[in-house]
Amino acid sequence: MSRSPHAKRLPRIRQARTTPPWWFALPALLLFAFVVLVPSARGVYYAFTDWDGLDPHFSFVGLDNFSDMLRDADATQAIWHTLLIAVSITVIQNAVGLVLALGVNSAIKSRNMLRVFLFAPAVITPIVTAYLWRNLLGPDGAVNSLLGAIGLNGWEQDWLGDPDLALWAIVGVIVWQFAGYSMVIFLAGLQSVPREVHEAAAIDGAGPVRRFWSVTRPLLAPAFTINLMLSIIGGIKLFDQVYALTGGGPGHATDTLSTLIYKDAFTLGEFGYSIALAVVLTIIVAVASTGQYLMLSRNERATS
């Protein structure tokens, strides 16, 4: 007798278990829509207008903002700088990070302390490290003093004031700050490589280089994916460090898409044009991340 109501209730419980209510997602979705989705969609729309950011009357100008961009030397240069910075950071930061990770993953005694020290710059506010380096790289700064002290007076430079050097100085500062971040991610990957696999390869006569190439490298594929993704997208969006180190100068020698977007919108009042630049930035990020995702997921499949 007591079994029948129970049996009746069972299907209802089954239904309840498979569906947490949809409204649980509502607060997050509303915030996401308000801050990201709706403004991004409006941004794409404004990119085809001549809006100045204030005047409620503005007109639709089609592709004018984009064709202006092609004629605007500052804009084409900024796009080039953005790509150059992103690619250089990606290559150098990950190479340094990988070397550091291999070093810290060895039998050395100071490995735990080194790991903590080398990662430390990555948690410091980027604008703060940038102002620090702006002084260090100045004509009377510590970098030149150090070069002088070790007898390399001929290498002393105005690192940020020289249009040919400034961009590379910025790349150097970013690598200094974030190589430890790449290191930590590579290290997590390295520690997932089973020791027995290494020992088996060593017994089979593989030297350290061969062991790295054939055993470690394939198993590091997920760490590579994350690291390359983080550094290339971070490099494309870069703003804080450029703003603080050079402000885009000397002249426009280090302007990136992000600094140009800021200047055009807030010092020149060209909102429509500025947002068109942001659309270009979005397209570059999208192309870079899909391209990288496709390439790396193919590699991961091929090697695993």
Instruction: Map the footprint of another protein across residues 156-215, applying CB under 8 A.
Output: 176, 180-181, 184-185, 187-189, 198-199, 202
Decide: is 18 part of the binding site for another protein (CB under 8 A). yes
Decide: is 274 part of the binding site for another protein (CB under 8 A). yes
The one segment of 68-76, 78-86, 113-121, 158-166 that binds another protein by CB under 8 A:
113-121
Give the C-alpha separation, 215 to 199, whole Å: 10
Give the C-alpha separation, 169 to 144, whole Å: 13
Q: Which two tokens stand for residue 7?
A: 């049996």
Give how many residues touch another protein by CB under 8 A. 100
Contact 186, 97 (CB under 8 A): yes
Out of 236, 242, 245, 253, the only residue in the binding site for another protein (CB under 8 A) is 236
Out of 34, 60, 80, 213, the only residue in the binding site for another protein (CB under 8 A) is 34
Decide: is 53 part of the binding site for another protein (CB under 8 A). yes
DSSP state of 2: T
Residue number with CB closer to another protein (146 or 152) = 146
Decide: is 267 part of the binding site for another protein (CB under 8 A). no
Decide: is 67 part of the binding site for another protein (CB under 8 A). no
Decide: is 117 part of the binding site for another protein (CB under 8 A). yes
Q: How far is the CB of 229 from another protein (least distance, A)?
A: 10
Q: How far is CA 134 from CA 70, 89, 221, in A?
A: 32, 18, 36
Out of 65, 85, 171, 262, the only residue in the binding site for another protein (CB under 8 A) is 262
Give the C-alpha separation, 179 to 97, whole Å: 5
The one segment of 17-25, 161-169, 212-220, 294-302 that binds another protein by CB under 8 A:
17-25
Q: How far is the CB of 16 from another protein (least distance, A)?
A: 5
The residues, any chain, with a CB within 8 Å of residue 236's CB and separated by 6 or more, are 82, 83, 86, 257, 281, 284, 285, 288
The residues, any chain, with a CB within 8 Å of residue 92's CB and separated by 6 or more, are 171, 175
Give the C-alpha separation, 183 to 134, whole Å: 25
Decide: is 104 part of the binding site for another protein (CB under 8 A). yes
Decide: is 131 part of the binding site for another protein (CB under 8 A). yes
Decide: is 108 part of the binding site for another protein (CB under 8 A). yes
Give the C-alpha separation, 151 to 141, whole Å: 16
